[in-house]
């Protein structure tokens, strides 16, 4: 009798310890599976659509690409609300970008890593919601503008700043604004950039939430 009771207790202990291990393994599989999937999808967008948009010199192409990446990351974080998964997906995407046949890849790769870090920081306080998603999209879009300016300055020097000042003065003249109207032009530019980023960020969060509801409803 004692031997049978001990055997039963040992079996129960084994089952009780096996369940947490199984759950941890399942969570790990989901983490890496989702991070790899969304990171690969983001990388595919960067290599295909990114190369095409840059080739046709579409205005705000960098902003649109950055905001699209943010939308994918926000969908990911909404589906899997785990800290670190956004940065992991960014690392996957950066690795794929390094394999791109395009010419310069180190700059875009660094930009991808910074974008994933910015989204991770924006979502750190309260996770993925409409407010944090919009903020993440705005941060990433502003970074796209700043990164382009920094890169051009590093490669071509300070004359780049003079070129942008000249473009700004021409815009003021074309719009028939007073000499101090440059601030309005810059403000309008930044507003449009923020609007693009916030819209795509919130859209990504909503798509993730909708997909999560459908997956939850489909579970037995």
Alpha helices in 56-181 (DSSP H): 61-79, 85-98, 106-123, 130-156, 159-174
Cβ count within 10 A of residue 63: 22
**Over the stretch 23-59, which tens digit does the pLDDT of each residue have?**
677 788 889 999 999 999 999 998 888 778 777 777 7
**Residue 69 pLDDT more than 90?**
yes
Exposed/middle/buried for residue 67 (C-beta within 10 Å: 0-12, 13-18, 19+): buried
| Predicted confidence (pLDDT) per residue in 146-175, tens digit | 988 888 787 777 777 777 777 777 777 776
Stated pTM of the model:
0.83
Residue listed under structure tokens 């199984």: 22
What gap in Å lies between CA 17 and CA 13, rounded to an integer?
Answer: 6
């Amino acid at each position: 009798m004692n031997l049978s009771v001990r055997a039963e207790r040992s079996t129960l202990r084994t089952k009780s310890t096996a369940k947490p291990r199984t759950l941890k393994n399942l969570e790990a599989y989901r983490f890496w599976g989702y991070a790899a999937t969304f990171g690969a999808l983001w990388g595919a967008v960067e290599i295909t659509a990114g190369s095409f948009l840059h080739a046709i010199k579409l205005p705000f192409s960098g902003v649109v690409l950055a905001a699209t990446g943010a939308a994918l990351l926000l969908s990911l974080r909404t589906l899997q609300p785990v800290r670190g998964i956004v940065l992991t997906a960014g690392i996957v995407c950066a690795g794929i970008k390094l394999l791109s046949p395009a010419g310069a890849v180190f700059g875009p790769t660094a930009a991808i890593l910074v974008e994933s870090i910015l989204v991770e920081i924006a979502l750190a306080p309260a996770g993925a919601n409409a407010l944090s998603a919009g903020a993440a999209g705005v941060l990433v879009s502003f970074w796209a503008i700043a990164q382009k300016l920094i890169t051009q300055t590093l490669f071509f020097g300070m004359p780049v700043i003079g070129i942008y000042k000249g473009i700004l003065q021409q815009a003021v003249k074309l719009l028939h604004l007073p000499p101090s109207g440059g601030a309005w032009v810059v403000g309008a530019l930044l507003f449009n950039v923020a609007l693009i980023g916030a819209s795509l960020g919130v859209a990504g969060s909503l798509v993730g939430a909708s997909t999560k509801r459908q997956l939850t409803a489909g579970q037995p």
